[in-house]
Structure 1
Amino acid sequence: MDLQLKDKVIIVTGGAKGIGEGIVRQLANEGAVPVIVGRKEADNLKLVNEITGKGQQAFQVVAELTQPESAEETISAIVSTFGRIDGLVNNAGVNDGVGLENGSYEAFVESLHKNVIHYYLMAQHALPYLKKTKGVILNIGSKVADTGQGGTSAYAASNGARNALTREWAVELLPYGIRVNAVIVAECYTPLYQTWINSLPDSEKKLEAITAKIPLEQRMTTAEEIANAAVFLLSPRSSHTTGQLIYIDGGYVHLDRAINS
């Protein structure tokens, strides 16, 4: 199926690794121009060079999105290069373990900057250009907003906000024909996930216990599976879908995991 994304300029924050990388690769496969926004130029360029080496398109901007001014600077750099923006994928973030007992005001606010404030700022600064193209916003969220996790208040709050902003923006941007959706991730094996697992005692057994509770096939969701759904939602093929939270999670959130016992 042609997803009609050829030459569409689509920003992917945190696009050099993990879920963001998967989305960037699929966009490039569809003939789009993914723009990686990430803090490490070497990581950004490694992926850009790999994609362009295959005759596909990609671009990158180095940005530290925890700094509020970086969103405007990033959008300006992209528009000065391409003159347009067709889509924005808000993806960058980290489950940083800022809890209620072990946290602080400063750590909580810092986590919000890492995980949700730049979602708002990137969308705000991209909006004038998305209006011109009737573009698309896609927010990547986490099941933590639904299930809780324990010990990660700031990340949970950020993901609750991501979900709420998805539906709020879908309403606010209806007059401009801008669609806004979210993909909600549960257990997806990314480099960050691997780092977290490795930090736990008896990490292999912990990983086995987690995957055993994923209803569909008792396995992790892959970054490619997240990317396939994301790219469809970014495409004109999903032209009447907006305000939706799409769970790509093997049934983790909504199916009773007692079925695996």
Structure 2
Amino acid sequence: MELNLADKIIIVTGGAKGIGEGIVEVLANEGAVPVIVGRNESDNLQTLEKTGGKGFQVAAELTDPAENKKAVEAILKKYNRIDGLVNNAGVNDGVSLENGSYEAFMASLHKNLVHYYLMAHYALPALKQSKGAIVNIGSKTAETGQGGTSAYAASNGGRNALTREWAVELLKYGVRVNAVIVAECFTPLYERWVKTLPDPEQALKRISDKIPLGKRMTTSEEIANMVAFLLSERSSHTTGQLVYVDGGYVHLDRAIA
């Protein structure tokens, strides 16, 4: 299927690693121009090298509100347009109810939610001009809970709510807004976490066995393929949707043999 993404300028926050890196690679393969916004310039550039150098990067600390504005301004200075925004940057940082604090909770909201709003806010004039699309990356934690990660769960609940709210607010501009919800996706960060557990191989098997479709982890490429579709004209009548690319983890009975 031709997605007609050639030469589209698409921002991907946290695009240097993990799911974000997978999204950047798929977009580049589709002919789009991915623009990575992430805190580490060398990581950003390293990922762009894998695309053959196609794309652009802006080093920005997204927990700083001013850096969000500067990043969008730098992109507009170079390209004078924005066709899509993928809000992806964030981290499951384990700020819990029992052992967290006000300061840690608020810091986590800035890591995981506030910049979603700010990037969309500053990119919106350009997205209105291009009738572009926004895709928010979310997590199952907003629905399933996980334990020990109050701030991250709250942030993902906020991401889901903003997706629906923006879809309504931006209808009149033809700007579509959707979310891709991730459950268990095997990334380098996930792999490092698994290795901290007793008997990592068995731990990974226990997790994978709970995923109904194929008893396996979702790949970054599978997430990225859905993101590309939602950014494209092929999903032209899809907005306000939370799309679960999770092998049925959230909504299917995990007791299925």
**TM bucket, shorter chain:** over 0.9
How far apart are 1:197 and its partner, in Å? 1.2
Paired AA for residue 2 in structure 2? D
**In the alignment, what sits opposite 1:14?**
14
**In the alignment, what sits opposite 2:41?**
41
Q: For 2:20 and 2:208, locate their aligned partners in 1 and report how far apart those are by CA, in whole Å.
A: 22
Q: Does 1:151 align with 2:148?
A: yes
Q: Does 1:135 align with 2:132?
A: yes
Q: For 1:195 and 1:114, locate their aligned partners in 2 and report how far apart those are by CA, in whole Å.
A: 20
Q: Write out aligned runs for 1:1-261 (5 A).
A: 1-53=1-53, 57-260=54-257
SS in 1 for 2:106: helix
SS in 2 for 1:217: coil
SS in 2 for 1:127: helix
How far apart are 1:52 and its partner, in Å? 2.5
Paired AA for residue 38 in structure 1? G
How far apart are 1:119 and its partner, in Å? 0.1
Q: For 2:108 and 2:256, locate their aligned partners in 1 and report how far apart those are by CA, in whole Å.
A: 35
How far apart are 1:203 and its partner, in Å? 2.1
Q: For 2:185 and 2:50, locate their aligned partners in 1 and report how far apart those are by CA, in whole Å.
A: 23
Q: For 1:89 and 1:200, locate their aligned partners in 2 and report how far apart those are by CA, in whole Å.
A: 31
Paired AA for residue 2 in structure 1? E
SS in 2 for 1:215: coil
Q: For 1:89 and 1:50, locate their aligned partners in 2 and report how far apart those are by CA, in whole Å.
A: 19
Deviations 1:168-198 (A, max 9, x none): 0000000100000000000000111112212
How far apart are 1:73 and its partner, in Å? 0.3
Deviations 1:44-100 (A, max 9, x none): 1011122135xxx21111011011111100000000000000000000000000000
Q: TM-score, with normalisation over the residues of structure 2? A: 0.98
Q: For 1:151 and 1:201, locate their aligned partners in 2 and report how far apart those are by CA, in whole Å.
A: 19
How far apart are 1:211 and its partner, in Å? 0.3
Q: TM-score, with normalisation over the residues of structure 1? A: 0.97
Q: For 1:170 and 1:91, locate their aligned partners in 2 and report how far apart those are by CA, in whole Å.
A: 18
Q: Is the 8 A contact 2:25 2:50 kept in 1?
A: no
Q: For 1:83 and 1:98, locate their aligned partners in 2 and report how far apart those are by CA, in whole Å.
A: 39
Q: For 1:201 and 1:93, locate their aligned partners in 2 and report how far apart those are by CA, in whole Å.
A: 26
SS in 2 for 1:257: coil
Paired AA for residue 133 in structure 1? S
Listed as ranges, the gaps of 5+ residues in structure 1 are none
What is the CA RMSD across the aligned residues, in angstroms?
Answer: 0.8
Q: For 2:66 and 2:32, locate their aligned partners in 1 and report how far apart those are by CA, in whole Å.
A: 27
SS in 2 for 1:258: coil
How far apart are 1:201 and its partner, in Å? 2.3
Paired AA for residue 28 in structure 1? A
How far apart are 1:199 and its partner, in Å? 1.9
Listed as ranges, the gaps of 5+ residues in structure 2 are none
Aligned length: 257
